Structure 1
């Protein structure tokens, strides 16, 4: 991949862009722009994390795997965050695996360097700790969502989140893969996706999903979508995308009877 110096001057990763200029410039010599191809494993469960990643429009799934080989997604990371949180929490291993779900590019950094920068304190430490809090909020909300909300609502929330993170209404995802990420049977995803498709919210063809009516998809999603995105904005100072920003503007304009 050819090196685009503009990416370092104006980082597409929102977490890096939120740093003060002086702090970001101190990181630049240690950042390497790399491709993140589909299915690339960034770290394995139980293995030392030696590199951290700040994705651009690539999307990384954080998954947990049970003894029988079943998998469930417990988090996604794109240009709003970083892959390798254990590094700043005093450890370098975790029980999850991180791999690229949607191909793109990202900034790579040696884990030891990021840990040293974090331990210096200041703006970098403050920002990364707030990011960890945002991820924690997302995880806790997802637990409640999986327990309390129907699959159509969960699927709508997940598709909206993916759209925000990769900043596109069209992305390559198979129903089999979605079922693994949501931790449900493929047949359940087929039924839920068909419901959304018949309602004119999405189209699904040859492993590609396109959101064709975002407003209705937002109305179908459970409240967890808004809760999670709003918390990211509160803690980090930016919306995941302009699409999410429009959603919150609409929420703010609703009357109490419409909520």
Structure 2
């Protein structure tokens, strides 16, 4: 099987929530953090399922999908290095109505649910940080719903591309039009037409499942207001998260992703 090589080192501080922890909090959690590969298409949790671990992505992106009875699906939010998978656990739900699928391959850290809940129940800085992240995530979900109802496929594609770029260190995405259509909950033909128009304007280059963003400013000009609303809310609620703490431990060696 062909291997896709990712960066050789991993550091928990690549995830913004982990990077925001004070030393005492991080020292309680770090012995239980495990670096794991997240492969494209991996299903981390089914709708209605329970998680044994919460996941903090570093270089991967996780897509949260809502599944319909007829088999259709649509993305309700994405989780990258700004957040975590598993907010339903500390919100009291125990399970989630959405399916969690790896959208972009990479790495992340998993933490046993029991350890996170012990820290959350201290009702200190970790609890407040996670609740602020949850509020931002709920805004993301609500705005995605509004966008899918009121804006064009082209605008939705611009929003999705920009939110994905914000979580990556590259302007290249590995993503087929079929997967994008499942993300947006629209027909594949609609994605093909929208991607063709963006390519015609020189905003992107698309070939065989690879999208390269050539003109981010062009995408920002064509996107609807939903992208700005989500980005502003994350910035407002988590403005003190990024780069607040220096690296606390040697980076861990990463393995190839199949």
TM-score range, shorter chain: 0.7 to 0.9
Deviation at 1:175, TM superposition (A): 0.4
Q: Distance in 1 between matches of 2:43 and 2:114?
A: 19
Deviation at 1:91, TM superposition (A): 2.6
Q: Report what 1:13 is aligned to.
A: 15
Q: Report what 2:179 is aligned to.
A: 177
Q: Report what 1:134 is aligned to.
A: 136
Q: Which has the higher contact order (CA 8 A, sep 6+)?
A: 2
CA-based RMSD: 2.0
Q: Verify the 8 A CA contact 2:57 2:84 in the aligned structure 1.
A: yes
Deviation at 1:6, TM superposition (A): 6.7
Q: Verify the 8 A CA contact 1:131 1:236 in the aligned structure 2.
A: yes
Q: Distance in 2 between matches of 1:75 and 1:94?
A: 13
Q: Distance in 1 between matches of 2:192 and 2:159?
A: 16
TM-score normalised to the size of structure 2? 0.88
Q: Verify the 8 A CA contact 2:10 2:35 in the aligned structure 1.
A: no
Q: Verify the 8 A CA contact 1:13 1:79 in the aligned structure 2.
A: yes
Deviation at 1:166, TM superposition (A): 2.0
Tell me, what secondary structure is at the counterpart of 2:167?
helix
Q: Distance in 2 between matches of 1:55 and 1:146?
A: 25
Q: Report what 1:199 is aligned to.
A: 201
Q: Distance in 2 between matches of 1:167 and 1:115?
A: 31
Q: Distance in 2 between matches of 1:39 and 1:158?
A: 17
- More divergent stretch after superposition (127-136 vs 223-232): 223-232
Count, aligned residues: 238
Tell me, what secondary structure is at the counterpart of 2:74?
strand
Q: Deviations over 1:1-42 (max 9, x none)?
A: 9xx88714xx10011111222211211011111111111121
Deviation at 1:239, TM superposition (A): 8.6
Q: Distance in 1 between matches of 2:116 and 2:152?
A: 40
Q: Say if 1:240 and 1:165 are closer, same or farther in 2 by CA, change over 3 A.
A: farther
Q: Say if 1:239 and 1:154 are closer, same or farther in 2 by CA, change over 3 A.
A: farther
Q: Report what 2:251 is aligned to.
A: none
Q: Greater helix percent: which structure?
A: 1
- Runs (4+) of structure 1 exceeding 3 A deviation are 238-241
TM-score normalised to the size of structure 1? 0.87
Q: Report what 2:79 is aligned to.
A: 77
Q: Report what 2:59 is aligned to.
A: 57
Deviation at 1:220, TM superposition (A): 0.4
Structure 2 residue runs of 5 or longer lacking an equivalent are 244-258
